[in-house]
Structure 1
Amino acid sequence: MAPIGSVVVERREKVHESELPALSVGQRGVTPQLEGVAKTQTESDRKLVRTGDLVINSRSDRRGASGLARQDGSVSPVYSVMTPKSELLVAEYAHHLLRSTAFQEEFFRWGVGIVDDLWSTNFTRMSRIRIPLPPLDTQRAIANELDQVESMIVKLDDLAAALRRRLTHTSAVFGLADDQKARHDDSHSPLAGIPEHWQRTKFGYDFSESTERNGSNPVGPLLSISEYRGVELNTRTKGQQASFDVSNYRVVRPGQLAANMMWLNHGGLGVSPYTGYISPDYKAFWISNRFEPRYVHHLFRNSRYIDYFGTIATGVRPNAQRVTKTALDMTPVPLPPLEEQRQIANHLDEVAGRVDLMLGKVAKLRELLVDRCSAFIADVVSGRKEVA
């Protein structure tokens, strides 16, 4: 066992964002900048990362956001960047160790802060954490074994992403396909290619904002808006949660459309099946009786609308693109006959159910592989298991 500070050297060099590509650090380790992730507002205030460095997010609510850099680049100052001492620590072994459940728990234990999502472990505190340090050959053998498992996890993540994309690419189901009988609107409009017998409306005509707040008596549980599933129960035990005072939180009723106005271009909206409350920064809307709520849920989570919300959003950073209420009210909406809306909703409910079942199986397998990665390191360094 050895403290981290004795086997790595902290890298503190700063770099301008235009000098090197921006990197993201998340559940997949260190990767090229992901779409929709913001950089720091101060362009020159970024940390230099070199190939072979280890990077970890100092915010403790981002557990598992760490890994080995495979290319030069830059990251936000919120990350700790370290160069492993090659005579003591194999970088690939450290990559898996930092991402193990046991280390994540210890990393969180050493953090300080006032609430979970403002809880951080800086390099000085992290440097005191003691880690298992087997011989270099054993470190390499562990890394080789876990590289194969990580490759399987990446394939599962790709499969899950493909399944989720399938739910959003349903334009044909909504009749949004060009044919001779279709209306020929601007191709960038959500109404482009709708059947002739469908009516058209605007969001502001059929969706009215609900201003109901919790007050002194919360009406139900805390809800969240998932880009993958829409409105769901908030069961997270880490990361962003409700504050102690929820009196100003917005109430959502079954059949209402709930929307995260800063995440519409990622699918951050959906019709709620629950009575509960959401962030005061979100919005809730009553839906007119001209619409089947389940149709509305699938319609606005369709890729055509996700792309459209991206074109009308405004903001200075990629992940701070807000759709204003005024812009949303002007959004064109296709209005088929109610019976067609129900038929579309029934079909997509069935498709979504099958996809959710597959996603559940993928998630369980992924969790099993992650657990085995962590257990494997512990078993080897404790002598319960040998590696070739």
Structure 2
Amino acid sequence: MVNPATTEFSQLDEGDSVAFMPLEAIWPGSKCDYSRTLPWSPNLSYVQFRRGDVLVPKITPTFEAGRTIVADIPSRVGLASTEVHVVRANEGADPRFLRYTFQSQPFLDEGANSLQGVGNLRRITPRFVQDYRVLDASAEVQAVLCDYLDRETGEIDAIIDRLDGLAEVLRYRAAIVSTRQVCGLFESHDGAQRSVHSPLAGIPEHWGRTKFGYDFTESTERNGDHPPGPLLSISEYRGVELNTRTEGQQASLDVSKYRVVRPGQLAANMMWLNHGGLGVSSLTGYISPDYKAFWISDRFEPRYVHHLFRSSRYIDYFAAIATGVRPNAQRVTKTVLDATPVPLPPRDEQVRIADELDEATARVDAMLTKVADLKALLLERRAALITDVVTGKKEVA
């Protein structure tokens, strides 16, 4: 059954704690988050489900990522995002078999072709899920197939988790090295890094000091009727890059008011500075009108600026000065940014530091690319295995 009634909610008292599954918590394997709860109220508009139901994300691109789960929640019933379909297995059917079927490539391919809606808000319909043909197998055979897939995909998922951990370690170590270099930090004799109280704490005495507003001038150039280049995005991992994503930030039909970015300018997402949402561009293009672009004074080497403001010291500093109610919408205002202290090493030192960090970053990027390639192969293997089993192409003893 798709989106069935969950009568158990009629037995709850208002204020009773129930599990809550927003879309960002719905992931297969170890990424799934069952820790969230909500106090029950009949006025809540979330989707109701019970423990053991199958939750199928219905909106692109979450659907296409195959993020279907069996809801193994701690409470008897739960509430989920309205962007999921609830599927309840019939008596004698194994919900795990439905989950694997909904993660198989034929289901995802057919679903992608049946999405309804426009732009980034297309969804699969409950009718598509209801009518999808599932392999006709007895409960005993389903259990055997699911036990096999649990073992095999569990091993693959464990390797993927280790690869994700390796990628995080690589990024963390790169951030530490970058911070020490661009801020002129050195370890004391006992190996402890000097404590950080401000962006200028512990910098070499011969370095100058300035403020952001003195050396960074906001550019007001807009596209107008003739954009000078393509849409660009600002990645927390890579900085300013060509926007090739099919989800997330997309330009509207009218891009005349979008902000132009030129090579050598600093581009910044003012609501994402505390996550590394800025960088010096090597491209000509345009970014969201909500972002900013800055000309950099001749006193700075642009590559040094790129590494400086993306260092862990400045990310922490931006987090401290940002304001806003929502955790993922902490904005740094232009006035506060202009007052931000900035170290000013001699120009030749900036070039040396930038050269060293460019080389170090290239090495880390190469390792991250290898990790990503291996992860992609494992995910492809996982998807193929699930597809072969749930479609009956692979025999399981």
Contact 1:58 1:79 in 2 (8 A): yes
**Counterpart of 2:238?**
229
Q: Does 1:109 align with 2:118?
A: no
Tell me the amino acid that sits aligned with residue 328 of structure 1: L
The structural deviation recorded for 1:53 is 4.0
Using the alignment, how far apart are the partners of 1:98 and 1:295 within structure 2?
48
Q: How do residues 54-73 of structure 1 correspond to structure 2 at under 5 angstroms?
A: 54-62=54-62, 63-64=64-65, 65-72=67-74
The structural deviation recorded for 1:229 is 0.5
**Counterpart of 2:352?**
343
Contact 1:10 1:81 in 2 (8 A): no
Q: Could you say if the C-alpha distance between residues 114 and 376 of structure 1 is closer, same or farther in structure 2, counting changes exceeding 3 Å?
A: same
* CA RMSD between the two structures: 3.2
Using the alignment, how far apart are the partners of 2:16 and 2:111 within structure 1?
28
Q: Could you say if the C-alpha distance between residues 343 and 365 of structure 1 is closer, same or farther in structure 2, counting changes exceeding 3 Å?
A: same
| Normalised TM-score (structure 2) | 0.82
The structural deviation recorded for 1:197 is 1.2
Using the alignment, how far apart are the partners of 1:49 and 1:316 within structure 2?
30
Unpaired runs of 5+ residues, structure 2, are 36-42
Q: Could you say if the C-alpha distance between residues 296 and 133 of structure 1 is closer, same or farther in structure 2, counting changes exceeding 3 Å?
A: farther
- Out of 130, 149, 152, which is 1:145 matched to? 152
Contact 2:104 2:390 in 1 (8 A): no
Q: Secondary structure at the match of 2:356?
A: helix
Contact 1:67 1:95 in 2 (8 A): yes
- Out of 153, 176, 180, which is 1:172 matched to? 180
Contact 1:255 1:293 in 2 (8 A): yes
Tell me the amino acid that sits aligned with residue 60 of structure 1: T
Q: Could you say if the C-alpha distance between residues 234 and 191 of structure 1 is closer, same or farther in structure 2, counting changes exceeding 3 Å?
A: same
1:153-188 per-residue CA deviation (whole Å, 9 max, x = no partner) reads 2221222222222222232223134769xxxx9943
Tell me the amino acid that sits aligned with residue 110 of structure 2: E
The more displaced of 60-69 and 291-300 is 60-69
The structural deviation recorded for 1:67 is 2.6
1:260-307 per-residue CA deviation (whole Å, 9 max, x = no partner) reads 111111111111111111111211111111111111111111111111
Using the alignment, how far apart are the partners of 2:304 and 2:275 within structure 1?
19
The structural deviation recorded for 1:213 is 1.1
| Normalised TM-score (structure 1) | 0.84
1:112-142 per-residue CA deviation (whole Å, 9 max, x = no partner) reads 2221x22223545533333445431223322
The structural deviation recorded for 1:238 is 4.1
**Counterpart of 1:314?**
323
Q: How do residues 281-296 of structure 1 correspond to structure 2 at under 5 angstroms?
A: 281-296=290-305
**Counterpart of 2:83?**
78
Q: How do residues 1-388 of structure 1 correspond to structure 2 at under 5 angstroms?
A: 5=2, 9=4, 20=19, 24-25=24-25, 31-32=32-33, 46-47=46-47, 52-62=52-62, 63-64=64-65, 65-72=67-74, 75-85=80-90, 87-91=92-96, 93-115=97-119, 117-121=120-124, 123=126, 125-132=128-135, 134=137, 135-136=141-142, 137-170=144-177, 171-173=179-181, 174-177=183-186, 187-388=196-397
The structural deviation recorded for 1:214 is 1.2
Using the alignment, how far apart are the partners of 1:227 and 1:86 within structure 2?
47
The structural deviation recorded for 1:239 is 4.3
Using the alignment, how far apart are the partners of 1:133 and 1:327 within structure 2?
63
Q: Could you say if the C-alpha distance between residues 239 and 96 of structure 1 is closer, same or farther in structure 2, counting changes exceeding 3 Å?
A: farther
The more displaced of 283-292 and 369-378 is 369-378
The structural deviation recorded for 1:45 is 5.1
Using the alignment, how far apart are the partners of 1:79 and 1:360 within structure 2?
32
Using the alignment, how far apart are the partners of 1:311 and 1:18 within structure 2?
33
**Counterpart of 1:39?**
none
Using the alignment, how far apart are the partners of 2:286 and 2:16 within structure 1?
39
Q: Could you say if the C-alpha distance between residues 339 and 106 of structure 1 is closer, same or farther in structure 2, counting changes exceeding 3 Å?
A: same
Using the alignment, how far apart are the partners of 1:17 and 1:306 within structure 2?
39
The structural deviation recorded for 1:57 is 3.1
Matched length: 370
**Counterpart of 1:37?**
none
Q: Secondary structure at the match of 2:131?
A: coil
Q: Could you say if the C-alpha distance between residues 59 and 240 of structure 1 is closer, same or farther in structure 2, counting changes exceeding 3 Å?
A: farther
Q: Secondary structure at the match of 1:98?
A: helix
Using the alignment, how far apart are the partners of 1:67 and 1:382 within structure 2?
19
The structural deviation recorded for 1:50 is 5.8
Aligned-residue identity in percent: 51
1:291-342 per-residue CA deviation (whole Å, 9 max, x = no partner) reads 1111111111111111111111111111111111112111111111111111
